[in-house]
Chain A
Amino acid sequence: MNNWDWSAVADFMPRFWDGLLLTLQVLVLGSLLSFTLGLVWAIGFRAPTRFVRWPVNVITEFIRNTPLLVQLFFFFFVLPEWGVQFSGLTTGTIAIGLHYSTYTAQVYRAGIDAVPPGQWEAATALSLPAGRTWMAVILPQAIRRIVPALGNYVISMLKDTPLLAGISVLEMLQQSRLESAATFQYTEPLTVVGIAFILIAYPASLLMRALERRLVR
């Protein structure tokens, strides 16, 4: 540990906070997108016709089993060819949200399957319309127990945000690369970023474990 330079850490800090802010921004928007889209997929899994179920299964399996990085490049390079111009940040947020929506869809599915069948039957017996059945009966019971699992995917998503550096989004990793390119100090910025991830992810995972104890019986 002979080459550590604290002043380089101090120099990196302004960029670091910018990067952290952008990372959190991607995380929040990406999470919201993945929660919404995941619910759409999950309802698609239960659609009455297999002409909906089958494509939804194929699409989500495909997205889930291919790397996020390649999907990022796909959207970043291919969308402009089709005439859709997005910034790297927008592309990255959409790609990460879409990718994780296929995970949250599985979480929603498990949560919805865990609602006792009697609840569906009761809703039918009360002749509730489909919308009310979902909004007032099924989802409130399902979502409660899947909050910790969704939270764990938010943490995974946080750890995947550095991939956005690949499409030159100025999140934490890219900021550290820029700093290194400007000052030729590779050690400190990258180490700071690595430690920052642990400092955010560990308390967050403790929080999820506590939530799991409280919400999942």
Chain B
Amino acid sequence: MTAGLWTHWVLPGIWITVQLTLYSAALATAVAFAVGTARTHSSRFVRFLAGLYTEIFRGTSALVLMFWLFFVMPSLFGWALVPMWAAVLALGLSYGAYGAEVVRGALNSVAPAQREAGIALNFSPWQRMRLILLPQAVPEMIPPFSNLLIELLKGTALVSLLGVADVSFAAYLVRLATQDSARIYSVTLVIYFVLAFVLARGMRALERRTKVGIGITATPGGAR
């Protein structure tokens, strides 16, 4: 493989993959917290809507959703999306639905007495969420979020089928240029593995920090 292929395709491809992961993770986190807290809302109707969202977006395939946003949205609603944003939207919405289940589970795992104490102290629902429930629930969420983040990173490879020039797409082009599939695809797999490793390490550090925030020292190897 020549240096030109590296600097023109593979390295920018890695950067695109990293960007896609970060943007979709940001969207997915926002969706996860919004929908996850809505699933613990006191109104039945809000809970139903949030449940409907999770079932729809967890039920469909991320790739089909991505194609749908890219090919069908323009003709059906008249909005055209750049492939990159169709991809971010599809990944963010579907992994947000998985994340919402994590948020709901973690919120439900906070001892009920904590919520009752908040009510007794006359905290508003928003203050209870922000000051009592979330600080205790967030450290619980981080190990499953870490797994989801790895899944999301792997999911970004799908964008290459929409023609976004991420590292998988670069691998495809390099294969066409060099006629040597084994080398470039092995390298690509290793690149993804290294990215996943870095993300997992980062999440473990984050877990330690959020646990210190509520006075728990993390057990080594607790995050998986």
**Partner-B contacts on A (CB < 8 A):** 1, 3-4, 62, 65-71, 73-74, 77-78, 81-82, 158-163, 165-166, 173, 177, 180, 186-187, 190-191, 193-194, 197-198, 201-202, 205
Chain A residues contacting B182 (CB-CB under 8 Å) are: 78, 81-82
- Alpha-carbon separation in the docked complex, A3 to B180 (Å): 45
Smallest CB–CB gap between A23 and chain B, Å?
Answer: 10
Q: Which secondary structure characterizes the binding site on chain A?
A: helix
> Given A1-B76, A186-B71, A186-B75, do A68 and B154 touch, yes or no (CB 8 Å)?
yes
- Alpha-carbon separation in the docked complex, A69 to B192 (Å): 12
- Alpha-carbon separation in the docked complex, A24 to B133 (Å): 43
User: In the complex, which residue of chain B has the Cβ closest to the Cβ of A64?
Assistant: B150
Select A67's contact among B64, B75, B154, beta carbons within 8 Å.
B154
Chain B residues contacting A66 (CB-CB under 8 Å) are: 154, 189, 192-193, 196
Chain A residues contacting B55 (CB-CB under 8 Å) are: 198, 202, 205
- Do the beta carbons of A69 and B76 come within 8 Å of each other? no
- Alpha-carbon separation in the docked complex, A202 to B60 (Å): 9
Chain A residues contacting B197 (CB-CB under 8 Å) are: 65
- Do the beta carbons of B171 and A70 come within 8 Å of each other? yes
Chain B residues contacting A163 (CB-CB under 8 Å) are: 63, 158
Chain B residues contacting A160 (CB-CB under 8 Å) are: 61
> Given A77-B185, A163-B158, A201-B58, do A191 and B63 touch, yes or no (CB 8 Å)?
no
User: In the complex, which residue of chain A has the Cβ closest to the Cβ of B57?
Assistant: A198
Q: Which secondary structure characterizes the binding site on chain B?
A: helix
Q: List 5 A-B contacts (CB under 8 A).
A: A69-B160, A162-B64, A173-B67, A201-B59, A202-B59
Smallest CB–CB gap between B80 and chain A, Å?
Answer: 12
Chain B residues contacting A65 (CB-CB under 8 Å) are: 150, 154, 192-193, 196-197
- Alpha-carbon separation in the docked complex, A202 to B192 (Å): 31
Of A66, A187, A193, the most chain B CB neighbours within 10 A belong to A66
Chain A residues contacting B217 (CB-CB under 8 Å) are: none
Interface size on B, residues (CB 8 A): 40
> Given A66-B154, A163-B158, do A194 and B60 touch, yes or no (CB 8 Å)?
yes
- Do the beta carbons of A77 and B60 come within 8 Å of each other? no
Chain A residues contacting B180 (CB-CB under 8 Å) are: 81
User: For the complex, is B26 an interface residue (Cβ under 8 Å from A)?
Assistant: no
- Do the beta carbons of B64 and A190 come within 8 Å of each other? yes
- Do the beta carbons of A70 and B185 come within 8 Å of each other? yes
- Do the beta carbons of A197 and B61 come within 8 Å of each other? yes
What is the 8 Å Cβ interface bit string for chain B, positions 45-65, against chain A (1 contact, 0 not)?
000000000011011111111
Chain B residues contacting A73 (CB-CB under 8 Å) are: 168, 171-172, 181, 185
Chain A residues contacting B64 (CB-CB under 8 Å) are: 162, 173, 190, 193-194, 197
Select B72's contact among A68, A190, A201, beta carbons within 8 Å.
A190
- Alpha-carbon separation in the docked complex, A193 to B72 (Å): 12
User: For the complex, is B155 an interface residue (Cβ under 8 Å from A)?
Assistant: yes
Smallest CB–CB gap between A185 and chain B, Å?
Answer: 9
- Do the beta carbons of A180 and B61 come within 8 Å of each other? no
User: In the complex, which residue of chain A has the Cβ closest to the Cβ of B192?
Assistant: A66
Chain A residues contacting B171 (CB-CB under 8 Å) are: 70, 73
What is the 8 Å Cβ interface bit string for chain B, positions 149-160, against chain A (1 contact, 0 not)?
010011111101
